[in-house]
Amino acid sequence: MTEIKEILFTREEIQKKVQELGKIISNDYKGKKLILVGILKGAVPFMADLMREIDLDLEYDFMDVSSYSGTTSVGEVRILKDISTHIEGKDVLFVEDIIDTGLTLSYLTDLFKSRAANSVAITTLLSKPKRRKIDIYVKYIGYEIEDKFVVGYGMDYNEKFRSLPYIGVLDESILHK
Ligand code: XMP
Ligand code: MG
Q: Give the model confidence (pLDDT) of 152-176 as tens digits.
A: 999 999 999 999 999 999 987 877 6
Which ligand is the nearest neighbour of the Cα of 98?
A: 1
Rounded to 5°, angle at Cα 38 from 37 and 40: 140
ipTM: 0.92
pLDDT tens track for 82-100:
999 999 999 999 999 999 9
Question: Does residue 49 have an active-site annotation?
Answer: no
Pocket test for ligand 1, best of 73, 95, 98 (most atoms within 8 A of CB): 98
- Banded model confidence at residue 72, pLDDT cuts 50, 70, 90: very low
Percent of the chain scoring above 90 in pLDDT: 88
pLDDT at 97: 98
Residue 38 pLDDT > 70: yes
Catalytic residue among 49, 100, 135, 156: 100
Q: What average pLDDT does this structure show over 64-71?
A: 70
Integer Cα distance of 150 and 148 in angstroms: 6
Lowest mean pLDDT segment, chosen from 8-17, 67-76, 110-119, 138-147? 67-76
Is the pTM higher than 0.90?
Answer: yes
Mean of the per-residue pLDDT values of the chain: 93
**Could you give all domains of the chain from N- to C-terminal order, each with its CATH number?**
11-146 (3.40.50.2020)
User: How deeply is 150 buried, as exposed, middle or buried, from its count of CB atoms within 10 A (0-12, 13-18, 19+)?
Assistant: buried
1: pLDDT confidence band, cut at 50, 70 and 90? Answer: confident
Pocket of ligand 1 (CB under 6 A): 42, 96-104, 149-151, 155-156
- How far apart are alpha carbons 84 and 40 in whole angstroms? 14
